[in-house]
Amino acid sequence: MAAAYVEDVLLVDRCLTGEPAATRELFRRHRNRVHACLFRVLGSNRDMDDLLQEAFLQVFQSLRGWRAEASLATWVDRVSVRVAYRYLSQRGRRIQTDELPEDDMVAGPDVGPGSRRQLARDGVRRLYAVLDELSPAARLAFTLHEIDGRSLAETAALVGSTVTATKLRVWRARKRIEAQAAQDPVLAEFLEPGTGISGEIIPFDKEAP
Amino acid sequence: MKLVGRVPVEPLDDERMTNIERRIVANAAVAPAPRAPRRVLGFAAAAMAAMAAGVIGWKLGTSPVQTSTVAEAPISIATTATGGTLNIGDATIESDPSTQFVVTRPDGGVLVDLKQGRVELEVAKRTNRPALVVRAGDTDVIVVGTHFSVDWDGSGEVDVRVTEGTVKIVRHKKESLVAAGEAWEPKRGTIKLADAKPVARRTGGGPAVASVTAGESGAGATIGEVSTGSGSAGYEIEIGDGPDVLRGRTAQVPDARTPRTGAGGSNAARTEPRETTPKAGSGSDAGAGDGPINIVALIKQHAVESPVDVGESVSASAVSRYQEMIRNSKTGDEESRAYYGIAYLQAMKMGRTEDALRTISTYERRFAQGRVYPERASIAWLKLRILCSRRLDGECKQVAAAYQRIAGDTAAGRLAERVTLGD
């Protein structure tokens, strides 16, 4: 931990001198995590190039502001979340989530060739369709906590809010999704496998190649 | 509902990630340095500049200024709705709406070829550097470290007024030197500023006005920053060699203080009456040529708009009425009027300028966004009046610049401009 901290400090120092190699190294260290975080918030790679670039440019432009109180990763995440928030605010609530993961990237048991994948894919699509209706703050709180797996405290710190407010946003978002799931068996199955349309898997299987 | 790990992340392919990395490394390298200029190469903007080079071409063949045929890409600017700013490193060019001009760098100098509209230039001292020239039709105004204005309607006469330093005017190969306190007209040549005819700004397709201010700034990078008036985001253009290159060169245009003589004709004069400051007490534009003390006097003389009447002759009672208006207001209009009323009384009637500034500050915060209320200009002038009456310092100039943006080309706006220029 201490070694990582020292490494961060040294790397930042090198970046501040304008050393391109250090800039590259910092980007490479954090790019996958930042990308994953942004992807889980947005649900697609649409505009991801611009967002990643914007996030890291912000990181470098405000690098002098990193006081080494938090880990560099946390600080980079905070900057990235701010970029995501701005993007969501500017784009409005409805983000097109038509760019979905490839079939073979979808998680879940590979049972019933094609069917589970397709179901998961549809589930993700419908989940993000509901998230599109949420406010940027609620979407961020929900996705960071429920999908990216961060604790409430960490999520609150990232979005610059209190734990209570964050908890409330997550709860409301969850209620909204559950309400939608009550009318949407595909979403319900995605959220709680086995409780939604599991009995309807067969037709999907039949369609599968 | 357990979603952690269930939304798979689609990876970006290597090519995309490499491109992002390349752009970040290229752009982030200068970011950490304080006040470092952003070096962003806007591909679209560069393409636009290149296109402009092709379309507009190099039109200096018949120029009265010694020029080179080696041209760096001309930058063509055409503002639409709200004007814009072009930073070319050794000069900043602000343009009004509906302004067109082309910037080129012949022999390391700067040529601002004004087609129509209004531009304002802030120019670094050009000691030992090739000249900066503002071209208005067949007239070249050459900057040698000065403050002057050029009015041109696009087809008629040019009117030049100099308030600081010296400029050289070249027209039809004939050169004239115009010093501070002097004006130049095609028919009369160089005359005393006081004898110059007042010229008026036309409305709608009015005369082009280029005001150029000598300054110490502009020793920065060669990155030009352009914000267009079309509502699009600002973009940046790399426009070639900048001040570092300019500094080492010998001026191609003779210094204005060693005038040449030359043959040439003159044009028929046509000047139009300029809107003047009613209480300026001088026939020239907004008291041009007055010193700082007189500027303060002019500011104080300028009328301050009265607030809405609430039927109270005692100031304290009127303030209470305005406060009541704010509490009960159902529209922003009422609130805006009431705030101005309070600030006006505090500043003009009660001598409580600090309280007035606090009221103005509250007003600015309250109406920072959304609709612009009619009192905005009045309250901005009040703030300018309070601050600049105390001292013509940086804060005063900042407020004056803000007011000038609101007031535009009015008498008070020009007065504010003079404050910002530090006349």
Instruction: State how far residue A178 is from chain B, nearest Cα, in angstroms.
Output: 9
Q: Which of A23-27, A74-78, B348-352 has the lowest mean pLDDT?
A: B348-352
Range from B43-57, B209-223, B402-416 carrying the lowest mean pLDDT: B209-223
pLDDT grade for B394, boundaries at 50, 70 and 90: confident
Q: What's the rounded mean pLDDT across residues A8-20?
A: 83
pLDDT tens profile A15-53: 888 788 888 999 999 999 999 999 999 988 888 998 999
Subunit contact B25:A148, Cβ cutoff 8 A: no
- Sort out which chain B residues have CB atoms less than 8 A from A192's CB and list them: 1
Contacts of A64 in chain B (CB under 8 A): 32, 34
Both tokens of B143, joined, read: 């900057």
Average pLDDT over residues B89-96: 71
Residue bearing the bigger pLDDT, A90 or B79: A90
| Average pLDDT estimate for B341-355 | 87
Residues near A27 by Cβ (< 8 Å), separated by ≥ 6?
Answer: A56, B21, B24, B25
Q: Do A60 and B24 touch (CB under 8 A)?
A: yes
Per-residue pLDDT, A174? 92
The pLDDT score that the predictor gives to residue B148 is: 63
- Report yes or no on A87 lying in a domain: yes
To the nearest whole Å, the CA of A38 is away from the closest chain B CA by: 9
Closest-CA residue in chain A for B5?
Answer: A147
| Bridge partners of residue B111, in order along the sequence | B104, B133
Amino acid A141: pLDDT: 94
Give how far B183 is from chain A: nearest CA, Å: 48
pLDDT given at position B128? 59
Average pLDDT in chain B: 63
Residue B308 region, left (φ>0) first, then alpha (ψ -120 to 50), else beta? Answer: beta
> How many angstroms separate the CA of residue B42 from the nearest CA in chain A?
14
- Kindly tell me if the per-residue pLDDT of B4 is higher than 70: yes
Residue A86 belongs to a domain with what CATH number? 1.10.1740.10
A104 CB near a chain B CB, below 8 Å? Answer: no
How many CB contacts within 8 angstroms connect chain A with chain B?
101
Percent of chain B topping pLDDT 70:
53
Residues A19 and A45 in one domain: yes
Neighbours of A1 (CB within 10 A): 6
Q: Does B204 touch chain A (CB under 8 A)?
A: no
Q: How many whole angstroms separate alpha carbon B332 and alpha carbon B164?
A: 44
Last residue of a domain, one of A33, A59, A91: A91
- C-alpha radius of gyration, chain B, whole number: 25
Per-residue pLDDT band at B109 (split at 50, 70, 90): confident
Residue-wise pLDDT tens digits, B227-239 = 223 333 222 222 2
- Do B32 and A18 lie within an 8 Å CB cutoff? yes
| Cross-chain Cβ contact B29/A108 below 8 Å | no
Would you call A203 an interface residue with chain B, using a CB distance cutoff of 8 Å? no
Task: Tell whether A182 is within 8 A of chain B (Cβ).
Answer: no
Instruction: Tell me the average pLDDT across A169-195.
Output: 86
End-to-end CA distance of chain A: give it in Å, rounded. 49
Residue A191's CATH number = 1.10.10.10
- Contact (Cβ atoms closer than 8 angstroms) between residue B277 and residue B415: yes
* pLDDT average, residue stretch B65-92: 58
On the question of pLDDT at B393 being above 90, the answer is no
What is the average pLDDT across B267-280? 33
Same domain? For A71 and A134 the reply is no
Q: Cα separation of B251 and B128, whole Å?
A: 6
Note whether B169 and B147 are within 8 A (CB).
Answer: no
Dihedrals φ, ψ of B268, to 5°? -65, 135
Is the CB of B233 inside 8 Å of chain A's CB atoms? no
Contacts of B28 in chain A (CB under 8 A): 15, 23, 56-57, 60-61
Domain shared by A83 and A143, yes or no: no
Least confident of A130-144, A158-172, B151-165: B151-165
Nearest CA in chain A to B10: A101
In the predicted structure, residue A4 carries a pLDDT above the cut 60:
yes
The distance of B21 to chain A (nearest Cα, Å) reads 7
Q: How far is CA B67 from the centre of its chain?
A: 27
User: Do A201 and A121 share a domain, yes or no?
Assistant: yes
Angle A123-A184-A130 from CA coordinates, rounded to 5°: 60
Clarify whether residues A39 and A82 are in a common domain: yes
Mean pLDDT value of segment A149-177:
92
- Per-residue pLDDT tens digits for B184-200: 777 777 777 767 665 44
pLDDT beyond 90 at B56: no
**pLDDT band of B263, cuts 50, 70, 90:** very low
Q: Which of B12, B29, B33 faces A20 most closely, judged by CB atoms?
A: B29
Residue of A nearest to B40 (CA): A57
Is position A98 within any domain? no
Among the listed residues A47, A8, A86, A20, the one whose alpha carbon sits nearest the alpha carbon of residue B31: A20
Place of tokens 């006469």: B157
Question: Which of A43, A60, A91 is the last residue before a domain boundary?
Answer: A91
Report the alpha-carbon angle B230-B232-B233, nearest 5: 140
Rounded CA separation B421/B423 (Å): 6
Instruction: Answer whether residue A97 is part of any domain.
Output: no
Cβ separation A18–B30 shorter than 8 A: yes
- B30-48 pLDDT per residue, tens: 444 443 333 333 333 343 4
Q: Is residue A112 located within the same domain as residue A147?
A: yes
On the question of pLDDT at B206 being above 60, the answer is no
**Final residue before a domain boundary, out of A39, A56, A91:** A91
Q: Does B194 contact chain A (CB < 8 Å)? A: no
Do residue A146 and residue B3 have CB atoms under 8 angstroms apart? yes
Which amino acid is located at B316 in the chain?
A
Lowest mean pLDDT among A144-153, B83-92, B257-266: B257-266
Asked if residue A73 belongs to a domain, the reply is yes
CB contact under 8 A, B24 and A120: no
pLDDT of residue B241: 29
E runs forming strands in B19-138: 75-78, 84-87, 91-95, 100-104, 110-116, 118-124, 132-136
Residues A64, A133 within the same domain: no
| Within-domain flag for A157 | yes
State the Cα–Cα distance between residues B323 and B346, nearest whole angstrom. Answer: 13
Tokens of A58: 């912000």
* ipTM, 2 dp: 0.79
Q: Which residue of A has its CA nearest to B6?
A: A107
Q: How far is CA B158 from the centre of its chain?
A: 20
Which chain B residues touch A190 with a CB distance below 8 Å? 6
Chain A contact for B12 (CB, 8 A cutoff): yes
Query: Is the pLDDT confidence value at B205 over 80?
Result: no
Does A74 share its domain with A170?
A: no
Interface test with B, best of A146, A174, A176, A195 (most B CBs within 10 A): A146
The average pLDDT across B403-423 equals 80
pLDDT of residue A165: 92
Separation of alpha carbons A163 and A169, rounded Å: 10
Q: A109 and A86, same structural domain?
A: no
B400 or B157, which is more confident: B400
Query: Using alpha carbons only, what angle is made at residue B41 by residues B36 and B45, rounded to the nearest 5 degrees?
Result: 125
Comparing alpha-carbon positions, the chain B residue that sits nearest to A188 is B1
For residue A6, what are the domain limits? 2-91
Query: Number of structural domains, chain A?
Result: 2
CA distance A189 to chain B (A): 10
The reply to whether A70 and A39 lie within a common domain is yes
Nearest CB to B7; choose among A24, A61, A124: A124
